[in-house]
Structure 1
């Protein structure tokens, strides 16, 4: 990798001359400045921001956005900055910003638009092998594709990705498989407060149901049953999420659901104590049921077993599904 040599001159600038909306070189998203403000107040500014001159006497930020915002918050105006000389390639300035911030690491949103910007001027193989590891990502084609897709996500969902309410893997799946419904699905994930596993399972179920029924996902997600459960006024988001998953499970495994209902219809009337459970085999396959008894004394164990023996003698477990 060739060194990136940036020539500059130091100059005092007022904040009014900075184009804050120009994100050409920006690699930072959703990073607080409170600790940086304290640092600057305590030991001063140790590294000057770097800017590039634009038309009409304006300047765009090459690196140091947070430093400038901190100085603005403190009330320093004008501020000393390094102004890069004319003729430096835009690609080199972006890489300068990248390496300047690389040591602190990047969040998932930052990684996505760094990959997107680099893809315009760096050959794919080099980007994967050289730059993904610097982003703390495995140097794999599927990871490169994933973060390119994440960059297509609406910015309104960036906070949810930072907060761990959306996940790179499920975002990629939604954009790849259900792009026209991305807004709806992301909103449901956030509303239901589902973790990664539940999001992943839902997408698998939705895709399988679409294939089985030969129906569009939009039709499935707009059924009257779903609309009714989403509008339940007294249900919490978690309760609605549970009902939502149950509906999809019924759609995906109709035969299994019928078997579960048969099993529950046999077990519920037995009036076993709360310490005793009869568990069916996974997906009711294999025919091996489990009996679990929790007890804290021999008396409790005896009482539970006596109830089980009575149920067996009366034949109430005959014909388990």
Structure 2
């Protein structure tokens, strides 16, 4: 690829054309001190389009120059024979500086898909840039490029795991936005994220309401906007609330069981387990003792259960 270095007017550079943009805004390091001190050591790469310049590499350098109110900057003007060559350069320029995050990887895949027709070149460019080349990885990462900004931001911040983001992305834009905003307010692991999403979708389907309508809930808002409560406790409260909404009868049975146990004030050496999902009548009791005296004490605790009027069925 042939290129020449030119002095280019910033107002002729079309930064709104993001055809070749790979970098995400997660990297907010300021380049202005460096440019002010020593200038632009690595000029941006541009190609000509009609009456303006299209950026191939160097969006952040150009943005920093604009922030400094510069009028002109040095730039490599590329005489590209094809968009494929520009794609190779844009991806390599980013990949050689750092490991690409999942959104940048998705943008790189999407760029290759747009400008490369040959399958072998597709794989070659991806491999040369350090991108995963397995079909499974491509199918998992590529959809991220077209996700709403809220989901992409969640992936970058770590508030949304990729498997969960892929599920959310299948929903309507309104529902995806609502869930993206919900997960942005909490910090939970993959399993809890999956649990919350599954429960919300189940309730939405049962009640024939949209996810967005479901999430606009005073009790959910109260939990998420409680600045006095640590995030882990907020997550636990949210899980319990959604479980109660999803299984109201089960939640009521659990509460009744727990309230009764508290009122009985049983010895900690006696542990009682109710039927799974309170379906059935078989309870399990676990006794821990290391003397006859302790066993006699636990017998008295069992008598409390037997004599309770409503705790166990006849």
TM > 0.5 fold call: yes
Q: Secondary structure in 1 aligned to 2:11?
A: helix
Q: Secondary structure in 1 aligned to 2:114?
A: coil
The offset of 1:268, in angstroms, is 0.9
Conservation of the 8 A alpha-carbon contact between 1:33 and 1:70: no
2:82 corresponds in structure 1 to: 89
In 2, Cα distance between equivalents of 1:235 and 1:199? 19
In 2, Cα distance between equivalents of 1:68 and 1:136? 26
Among 301, 307, 310, which residue is 1:311 paired with? 301
The offset of 1:147, in angstroms, is 2.9
1:230 corresponds in structure 2 to: 220
After TM superposition, the structure 1 stretch with the greater mean CA deviation from structure 2, 151-160 or 230-239, is 230-239
TM alignment of 1:80-159, pairs within 5 A:
80-85=74-79, 88-103=81-96, 104-122=98-116, 130=124, 134=129, 136-137=131-132, 139-141=134-136, 143-159=137-153
In 1, Cα distance between equivalents of 2:165 and 2:288? 40
Conservation of the 8 A alpha-carbon contact between 1:165 and 1:193: yes
1:28 corresponds in structure 2 to: 23
TM-score (norm 1): 0.72
1:280 corresponds in structure 2 to: 273
In 2, Cα distance between equivalents of 1:20 and 1:193? 34
In 2, Cα distance between equivalents of 1:233 and 1:115? 39
2:44 corresponds in structure 1 to: 49
The offset of 1:84, in angstroms, is 0.9
The offset of 1:101, in angstroms, is 1.5
In 2, Cα distance between equivalents of 1:192 and 1:292? 39
The offset of 1:7, in angstroms, is 0.4
Cα gap change, 1:308 to 1:119, in 2 (>3 Å): farther
The offset of 1:320, in angstroms, is 6.0
Calculate the aligned-residue CA RMSD, in Å.
Answer: 4.2
Residues 166-191 of structure 1 deviation map (CA, whole Å, 9 limit, x = unaligned): 22221110112455511111122223
Structure 1 position 216 matched with structure 2 position 208: yes
Among 2, 5, 11, which residue is 1:7 paired with? 2
Gaps of 5+ in 1: 1-5, 294-303
The offset of 1:90, in angstroms, is 1.8
In 1, Cα distance between equivalents of 2:76 and 2:301? 84
Q: Secondary structure in 2 aligned to 1:176?
A: coil
In 1, Cα distance between equivalents of 2:286 and 2:124? 53
Q: Secondary structure in 2 aligned to 1:257?
A: helix
Cα gap change, 1:312 to 1:71, in 2 (>3 Å): same
TM alignment of 1:288-303, pairs within 5 A:
288=284
Conservation of the 8 A alpha-carbon contact between 2:160 and 2:183: yes
The offset of 1:315, in angstroms, is 3.7
TM-score (norm 2): 0.74
Cα gap change, 1:81 to 1:202, in 2 (>3 Å): same
Residues 47-102 of structure 1 deviation map (CA, whole Å, 9 limit, x = unaligned): 3321112222x2221112223344555676533221112x5212320221101221
Gaps of 5+ in 2: none
Conservation of the 8 A alpha-carbon contact between 2:20 and 2:56: yes
Residues 260-319 of structure 1 deviation map (CA, whole Å, 9 limit, x = unaligned): 23421331112358x7784637756985455799xxxxxxxxxx9997564234345986
Cα gap change, 1:209 to 1:78, in 2 (>3 Å): closer
In 2, Cα distance between equivalents of 1:79 and 1:106? 27
Residues 219-263 of structure 1 deviation map (CA, whole Å, 9 limit, x = unaligned): x7636x962313549961756654443243234445543442342
